[in-house]
């Protein structure tokens, strides 16, 4: 895991020197970030993901005093950031007595949360049923089924809100049968990030993070992580990323103005919100693959675009963003339609375009 001082060549010798007053002694030693070498359950493997500095793609595009670090959530055992809230919601459900033997875990999800719930349900011994629009990627359906979960398909024309509504109906039909984590309205979702993602970023940057940029699906990541970082340093800017239009191709993301707003999403806590276009996000996914050697999903492309925009608006700072998952689950999706155009020759044009902006 890339958490040695070599990852941060620009850090001063005294790692705490740049931390805000009053927190010097509370910055945990880096050794705590080293993940467990052995675990009893995949539950123990969630979190402690590495930060990758994005420096090759950004060379010449952002000021010298600014760096962008991406938290690679694809390293979670279920392959995405969603392992964190899924684990926390199930743990909270068990602790409150709502999830107990005989219950079935039910939720609506277009993918990553479903994968996390299916994986964790398998290890905890609970059956899992998921509602998802039938147009989610083929890989996701297969992965969920491989963990033994059952899928109910909702109308693709109705999007994720259609899945939410269908899930409510299933629950109404047999409320005693199900435990619904309800990621959109369960504060344990944000809490997972407050307790894990936030502290990890704080430690990994040694308190030097100045901006946190994250995409909105449920709002859990941006809310919980943002809250933690602000609790350590009120000056940290928390910026959410959403699609620029209700009609978009950024799987996993919500255009807030046209969606059912999640109960855990509180816009007033944000410092800013950046809108990203589908095409520019796709382009940067290709660019990340070819310059940084990292293949991510479309939501990470949106996060990267927003981080670039923030980076170009400041003179110095440490921007941390979240790459929610890796790209292998999306190889059959529209993301890769016509991508050959974006091989090296076109890549230079993408980068040149940013230079001109």
Partner 1 sequence: MAVRVRVPTPLRRFTAGVDEVSADGTSIKAVIEDLERRHPGMRERLLDEKGDIRRFVNIYLNGDDVRFLDAINSKVKDGDDISIVPAIAGGR
Write out the residues near partner 1 by the rule CB under 8 A: 82, 108-113, 132-133, 135-136, 156-164, 183-184, 217-218, 245-255, 258-259, 278-279, 282, 298, 333-335, 337-338
| C-beta of 278 vs 321, nearer to partner 1 | 278
Let me know the angle formed at the C-alpha of 280 by 66 and 67, rounded to the nearest 5 degrees. Answer: 10
List beta partners, residue 22: none
Spatial separation of the C-alpha atoms in residues 213 and 264, rounded to whole Å? 17
Could you tell me the smallest distance in angstroms from the CB atom of residue 137 to partner 1? 9
Q: What Rg do the C-alpha atoms of the chain give, in angstroms?
A: 20
The active-site residue out of 82, 180, 232, 237 is: 82
Spatial separation of the C-alpha atoms in residues 226 and 223, rounded to whole Å? 5
Residues 164, 108: contact at Cβ < 8 Å? Answer: yes
Residue entry with tokens 């009609």? 247
Residues 1, 35: contact at Cβ < 8 Å? Answer: yes
The conformational region for residue 233 under phi > 0 = left, psi -120 to 50 = alpha, else beta, is: beta
Structure tokens at 137: 């990627």
Residues 11, 5: contact at Cβ < 8 Å? Answer: yes
| C-beta of 65 vs 246, nearer to partner 1 | 246
Could you tell me the smallest distance in angstroms from the CB atom of residue 110 to partner 1? 4
Residues 42, 69: contact at Cβ < 8 Å? Answer: no
| C-beta of 176 vs 247, nearer to partner 1 | 247
Q: Answer yes or no: 299 catalytic.
A: yes
Structure tokens at 132: 């998802």
Residues 272, 246: contact at Cβ < 8 Å? Answer: no
| C-beta of 158 vs 328, nearer to partner 1 | 158
Could you tell me the smallest distance in angstroms from the CB atom of residue 217 to partner 1? 3
Could you tell me the smallest distance in angstroms from the CB atom of residue 132 to partner 1? 7
Q: What is the 3-state secondary structure (H, E, C) of 2-23?
A: CCCHHHCCCCCCCCCCCCCCCC
The active-site residue out of 154, 160, 190, 299 is: 299
Could you tell me the smallest distance in angstroms from the CB atom of residue 309 to partner 1? 21
Residue entry with tokens 């308190």? 207
Task: Cite the active site residues.
Answer: 82, 299
């Amino acid at each position: 895991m890339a958490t040695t001082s070599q990852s941060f060549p620009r850090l001063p010798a005294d790692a705490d020197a740049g931390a805000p007053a009053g927190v010097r002694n509370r910055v945990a030693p880096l050794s705590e970030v080293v993940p467990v070498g052995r675990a009893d359950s995949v539950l123990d493997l969630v979190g402690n993901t590495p930060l990758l500095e994005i420096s090759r793609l950004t060379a010449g595009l952002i000021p010298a005093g600014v760096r962008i670090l991406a938290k690679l959530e694809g390293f979670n055992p279920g392959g995405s950031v969603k392992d964190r809230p899924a684990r926390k919601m199930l743990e909270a459900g068990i602790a409150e007595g709502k999830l107990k033997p005989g219950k079935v875990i039910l939720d609506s999800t277009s993918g990553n949360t479903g994968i996390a719930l299916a994986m964790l349900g398998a290890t905890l011994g609970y059956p899992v049923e998921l509602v998802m629009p039938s147009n989610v990627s083929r890989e996701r359906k297969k992965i969920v089924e491989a963990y033994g979960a059952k899928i109910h398909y909702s109308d693709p024309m109705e999007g994720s809100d259609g899945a939410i509504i269908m899930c409510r109906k299933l629950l109404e039909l047999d409320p005693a049968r199900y435990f619904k984590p309800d990621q959109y309205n369960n504060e344990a979702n944000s809490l997972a990030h407050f307790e894990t993602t936030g502290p990890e970023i704080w430690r990994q940057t040694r308190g030097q993070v100045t901006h946190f940029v994250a995409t909105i699906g449920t709002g859990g990541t941006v809310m919980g992580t943002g809250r933690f970082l602000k609790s350590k340093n009120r000056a940290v800017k928390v910026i959410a990323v959403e699609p620029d239009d209700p009609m978009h191709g950024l799987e996993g993301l919500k255009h807030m103005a046209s969606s059912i707003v999640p109960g855990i999403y509180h816009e007033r806590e944000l410092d800013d919100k950046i809108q990203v276009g589908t095409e520019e996000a796709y382009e940067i996914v290709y660019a990340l693959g070819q310059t940084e050697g990292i293949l991510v999903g479309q939501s990470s492309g949106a996060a990267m675009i927003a981080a670039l925009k923030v980076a170009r608006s400041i003179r110095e700072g440490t921007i941390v963003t979240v790459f929610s998952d890796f790209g292998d689950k999306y190889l059959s999706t529209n993301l890769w339609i016509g991508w050959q155009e974006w091989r090296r020759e076109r890549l230079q044009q993408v980068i040149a375009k940013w230079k001109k902006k």
